[in-house]
């Protein structure tokens, strides 16, 4: 009798994790800046129909733009475990017949079946007992295998860290050696040399200190007696130069004036000889010694040199200066005021422009200028604009009614807010610019008169220009502006 026993145990579990990510490209927007070239005469064309004059202000467009969010990747589905159903094996049993050659059925066949069934049941019990042990042994084997792998990975990582540390230590050792060599060289050579240089500088400073002490001692001895000023201020003063003239101050020189009792007195130059005197000098350009390309606050306060002594013991020679917009506004608003603009070219020829009415408003209106009643031989730039131009092109050079502008405070009519179209920045000084000028007394000082757009900083007619006398490309040698109260002659 043969007994065949087959035991098969198979456990298969497969888990697959997959994850897909999309690559998102962020679009880069490139901003293209249009390089607009400024035509030297673009805002002052010389022929009809090339430009349109409009006083409207243009507000810059709002800043637009924004970013995009990247999309979120969709998590991949997790594959589940597939369990195979255990095939149930039916028990085999029953009586078997004997061979035919034996003749008769085995009488003990049923007993044999019972015995085999018992043996089969015993074997199944043993197998069932062995299954948990086999599972425990398999689990233990897996744990041992994983632990061995982790130890191997840890050893490899420690070896890599150790190698990196050795490399870093080597690099720092080399650097320390280089620093040591540098420090040793510095201590041995550079420091002694520097000490010698500093010792020489110290000796020179000691000599200078000794000279200063000697000069102070000499000055102290010289100042034992009362000092006398080389440029005394006259005793006569008044509200303005006309008031000083009527009080007896009839010499042209520097005086103190006080238009009202709310403000402190300040120095001015009074011209007491031109047209019977009484003129207060508010602007003077003589030699280019003072830079007129200044900020708003400086034009508001005033700047430059009022006057200096030419050797006569008093300040009878005017300097280059701007009186200050606050003071000009204060004086012109005291009552009817006239203005006299005198100019001279590089050949010595002189002309003038005079306006019977001249008023400068306060800073709240950006010092708006109002003039009227022209007379003279220089040309009426303030009211008529440049006679070289036509129609709209001429009206955009009229200065009457304009606000004051400087390079840091743009109040002109030439596209406000656009730094490429700013009269004060291009034309060299603060002035009552329109778009832009027919007169530019506060422009850049060019020696010799004629100049070219290649000489100009921005390629524009930025000189001391009075277009109705000498045109755009001739810079005057001298120009001055004087004011006095307007009154009918007796």
Write the pLDDT tens digit of every residue in 300-338.
999 999 998 877 767 889 999 999 999 999 999 999 999
| Portion of the chain with pLDDT greater than 70, in percent | 74
Same domain, 288 and 407: yes
CB neighbour class for 104 (10 Å; exposed up to 12, middle 13-18, buried from 19): exposed
User: How confident is the model at residue 185, as a pLDDT?
Assistant: 82
Q: Positive or negative, the Cα torsion across 354, 356, 362, 366? A: negative
Task: Give residue for tokens 């506004």.
Answer: 329
Vertex 285: Cα angle to 282 and 288 (nearest 5): 140
**What is the bridge-based pairing of β-strands 478-485 and 279-285?**
antiparallel
**H or E element at residue 86:** none
366-395: per-residue pLDDT in tens? 999 999 999 999 999 999 999 988 888 899
Is 170 in the same domain as 297?
Answer: no
Pick the residue with more confidence: 223 or 234? Answer: 234
One domain, residues 209 and 250: no
Q: Is the pLDDT of residue 41 over 70?
A: no
- Whole-number percent of the chain with pLDDT over 90: 43
Give me the number of domains the chain comprises.
2
| 74 within some domain | no
Looking at the structure, do residues 254 and 330 belong to the same domain, yes or no?
Answer: yes
> Rounded distance, CA 295 to CA 406, Å?
6
Residue 48 reports pLDDT greater than 80: no
Angle at 201 between CA 200 and CA 202, to 5 degrees: 90
The set of residues, in sequence order, having a beta carbon less than 8 Å from that of 382 and lying 6+ positions away, is 353, 355, 369, 371, 374, 398, 399, 400, 439
Residue 33: its pLDDT value, please?
36
What pLDDT, in 10s, does the model give residues 396-433?
A: 999 999 999 999 999 998 877 777 788 999 998 999 99
What domain range includes position 164?
Answer: 119-227
199 and 167 in a common domain: yes
269 closest CA partner among 260, 261, 279, 277: 279
How far is the C-alpha of 403 from the C-alpha of 366, rounded, in Å? 5
Provide Rg for the chain, Cα atoms: 52
Q: Are residues 299 and 379 in the same domain?
A: yes
Q: Give SS3 for 417.
A: coil
Facing residues of 369 across strands? Answer: 360
- Confidence (pLDDT) at 120: 82
| Backbone angle region of 366, left / alpha / beta, with phi > 0 → left and psi within -120 to 50 → alpha | left
Residue 488 has pLDDT above 50, yes or no: yes
Q: Determine the distance from the C-alpha atom of residue 438 to the mean position of all C-alpha atoms in its chain, rounded to a whole number.
A: 33
Beta bridge partners of 28: none
**Are residues 353 and 292 located together in one domain of the fold?**
yes
Name the band, by pLDDT with cuts 50, 70 and 90, for residue 73: low
pLDDT band at 157 (very low <50, low <70, confident <90, very high): confident
**Mean pLDDT (whole number) for 475-488:** 93
| CA gap 322, 441 in Å, rounded | 11
Q: Is residue 91 in some structural domain?
A: no
* Domain edge (last residue) among 183, 205, 227: 227
Identify whether residues 270 and 414 lie together within a single domain: yes
What SS3 class is residue 167? helix
Residue 155 pLDDT greater than 90, yes or no: no
Q: What pLDDT does 327 receive?
A: 96
Flag whether pLDDT at 189 surpasses 70.
yes
Neighbours of 418 (CB within 10 A): 12
Residue ending a domain, among 160, 194, 227, is 227
- With respect to residue 311, please indicate whether it lies within any of the assigned structural domains: yes
Q: What is the pTM of this model?
A: 0.57
Tell me how far CA of residue 201 lies from CA of 32, 195, 198, in angstroms. 55, 10, 5
In a domain, 249, yes or no: yes
**No. of H helices and E strands in the chain?**
9, 13
Q: Are residues 222 and 332 in the same domain?
A: no
Tell me the average pLDDT across 277-285. Answer: 96
With respect to residue 41, please indicate whether it lies within any of the assigned structural domains: no
Within-domain flag for 33: no
Report whether 468 contacts 380 (CB < 8 A): yes
Residue 211 sits in the same domain as residue 269: no
Assigned domain for 431 exists: yes
- Examine residue 265 and state whether it is found in any structural domain, yes or no: yes
What pLDDT shows up at residue 287? 93
Evaluate whether 268 touches 257 at the Cβ level (below 8 Å).
Answer: yes
pLDDT band at residue 78 using 50, 70 and 90 as cut-offs: low
Is 60 exceeded by the pLDDT of residue 89?
A: no
Secondary element (H or E) of residue 108: none
When pLDDT is cut at 50, 70 and 90, the band that residue 104 belongs to is: very low
* Residue 110 pLDDT > 90: no
Average pLDDT of the chain to the nearest whole number: 79
Is the pLDDT reported for residue 39 higher than 60? no
Tell whether 364 and 216 lie within a shared domain: no
The pLDDT of 84-105, averaged and rounded, is 47
Tokens of 381: 């730039």
Look at residue 66 in the predicted model and tell me its pLDDT. 41
Question: Is pLDDT above 50 for 38?
Answer: no
Q: Is 283 exposed, middle or buried (0-12, 13-18, 19+ CB in 10 A)?
A: buried
DSSP string, 55-84: ----PPPPP-----PPPPPPPPPBPPP-PP
Residue 423 contacts residue 433 (beta carbons within 8 Å)? yes
Rounded to an integer, what distance in angstroms lies between the CA atom of residue 475 and that of residue 34? 33
The more confidently predicted of residues 213 and 54 is 213
Domain boundary residue among 204, 227, 250?
Answer: 227
Q: Tell me: do 219 and 274 sit in the same domain.
A: no
- In the chain the first and final C-alpha atoms are separated, in Å, by 163
CATH number, domain of 292, equals: 3.90.215.10
Residue with tokens 């199944």: 124
């Amino acid at each position: 009798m043969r007994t065949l026993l087959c035991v098969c145990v198979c456990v298969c579990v497969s888990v697959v994790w997959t994850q897909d990510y999309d690559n998102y490209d962020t679009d880069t927007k490139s901003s293209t800046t249009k390089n607009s070239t400024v035509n030297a005469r673009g805002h002052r064309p010389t022929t009809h129909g090339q430009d349109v004059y409009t006083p409207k202000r243009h507000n810059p467009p709002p800043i637009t733009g924004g970013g995009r969010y990247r999309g979120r990747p969709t998590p991949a589905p997790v594959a589940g475990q597939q369990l195979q159903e255990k095939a149930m094996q039916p028990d085999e049993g029953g009586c078997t017949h004997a061979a035919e050659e034996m003749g008769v059925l085995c009488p003990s066949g049923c007993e044999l079946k019972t015995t085999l069934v018992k043996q089969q049941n015993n074997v199944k019990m043993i197998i069932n007992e062995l299954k948990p042990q086999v599972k425990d042994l398999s689990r233990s084997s897996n744990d041992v295998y994983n632990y061995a792998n982790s130890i191997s990975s840890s050893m490899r990582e420690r070896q890599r860290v150790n190698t990196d540390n050795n490399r870093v230590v080597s690099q720092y050792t080399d650097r320390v050696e280089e620093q040591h060599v540098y420090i040793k060289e510095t201590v041995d050579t550079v420091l002694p040399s520097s000490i010698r240089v500093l010792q020489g500088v110290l000796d020179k400073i000691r000599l200078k200190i000794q000279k200063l002490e000697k000069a102070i001692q000499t000055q102290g001895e010289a100042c034992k007696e009362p000092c006398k000023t080389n440029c005394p201020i006259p005793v006569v003063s008044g509200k303005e130069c006309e008031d000083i003239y009527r009080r007896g101050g009839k010499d042209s020189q520097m005086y103190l004036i006080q238009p009202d009792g709310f403000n402190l007195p300040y120095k001015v130059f009074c011209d007491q000889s031109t047209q019977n005197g009484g003129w207060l000098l508010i602007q003077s350009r003589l030699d280019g010694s003072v830079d007129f390309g200044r900020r708003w606050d400086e034009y508001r306060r005033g700047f430059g040199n009022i006057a200096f002594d030419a050797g006569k013991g008093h300040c009878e020679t005017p300097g280059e200066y701007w009186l200050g917009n606050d003071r000009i506004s204060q004086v012109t608003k005291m009552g009817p005021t006239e203005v006299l603009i005198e100019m001279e070219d590089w050949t010595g020829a002189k002309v003038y422009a005079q306006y019977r009415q001249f008023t400068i408003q306060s800073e709240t209106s950006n010092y708006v200028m109002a003039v009227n009643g022209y007379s003279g031989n220089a040309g009426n730039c303030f009211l008529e604009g440049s006679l070289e131009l036509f129609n709209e092109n001429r009206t955009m050079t009229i200065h009457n009614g304009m606000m004051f502008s400087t390079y840091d405070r743009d109040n002109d009519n030439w596209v406000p807010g656009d730094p490429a179209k700013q009269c004060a920045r291009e034309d060299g000084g603060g002035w009552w610019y329109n778009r832009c000028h027919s007169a530019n007394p506060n422009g850049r000082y060019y020696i010799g008169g004629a100049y070219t757009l290649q000489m100009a900083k921005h390629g524009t007619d930025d000189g001391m220009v009075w277009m109705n006398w000498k045109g755009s490309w001739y810079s005057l040698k001298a120009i001055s502006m004087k004011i006095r109260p307007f009154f009918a002659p007796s």
